[in-house]
Amino acid sequence: MKFKAPLIPGRLIKRYKRFLVDIELERGEIVTAHCPNSGSMKSCQTPGWKVMLSTHNNPTRKYKYTWEMVHNGFCWIGINTGVPNKIVEEAIKNNKIISLKGYTDIKREVPYGQNSRIDIYLKNDKQICYVEVKNVSLVENDGFYYFPDSVTERGRKHLYELIEMVKGGHRAVMFYLIQRNDGTTFKPAIHIDPAYAESLKDAYKNGVEILVYQAEVNPDSITLDREIPWDLE
């Protein structure tokens, strides 16, 4: 996924009210930008870190800038939770995910389950596959990638919706996209949301597949890179 226009560099001042962030641009101007991430953003919001912003000229938008990524001194970290669906869809269409090849019908945000929408709906003449995509931006001192970074009842609901799809004879995939490259293995964050961690184990036991991929994040583009090992314990 390439950005439509060059991103604007700056330095992080502070994030607040979940969806707002103050940034000092390189020219010295301080702006308030939209933060497209409702999580805790633990390990992603240290004041002084370099950031990149996208710009929007829509006059109906309250904030011109959107926070896209942050640099922790080692790597760029994608924080926009609206990006992973686009990246995964693009990778599927380009046959970059071996286990998701062979589908002729690819759609986004298709209604399913109990008042839910699946991130990516795949279909061929033999099978329907439901793919739920989650953004992973948390790494802790042990070097593991973790999800979620805050308690998520909605995330648990999605897991049980996927279980029901498997029971109905369909394929279901929980896809975690890691938007950074300074960790090793993916794990559910049992220390943050033990209920979600148990629900993920339950989903896996009931036939929901788990795919974990790392993205290559830089100010020009964000693209699917490689598969990452995972551990549910």
Q: Is there a shared CATH topology between the 8-78 domain and the 83-227 domain?
A: no
Answer yes or no: CATH 3.40.1350.60 is held by domain 83-227: yes
**How many angstroms separate the CA atoms of 33 and 25, rounded?**
11
Q: What percent of the chain has pLDDT over 90?
A: 92
Mean pLDDT throughout 170-180?
Answer: 98
Is the pLDDT at 115 greater than 90? The verdict is no
Is the pLDDT at 217 greater than 90? The verdict is yes
Q: Supply the pLDDT for residue 58.
A: 79
Q: Supply the pLDDT for residue 114.
A: 84
**How many angstroms separate the CA atoms of 133 and 220, rounded?**
22
Q: Tell me the pLDDT band of 76, cut-offs 50, 70 and 90.
A: very high
Q: Supply the pLDDT for residue 113.
A: 85
The domain spans of the chain are 8-78, 83-227
CATH number of this structure's domain 8-78, picked from the four choices 3.40.50.300, 2.40.50.580, 3.30.428.10, 3.30.1490.100:
2.40.50.580
194 within 8 A of 233, measured Cβ to Cβ: no
Beta-strand ranges (E) seen in 148-198 are 171-178, 186-188
Total number of residues shown for the chain: 233
195's enclosing H/E stretch is helix 194-205
pLDDT for 10-47, tens place per residue?
999 999 999 999 999 998 999 999 999 999 999 999 99
What is each CA distance from 206 to 162, 187, 194, 231, in whole angstroms?
Answer: 9, 18, 18, 17
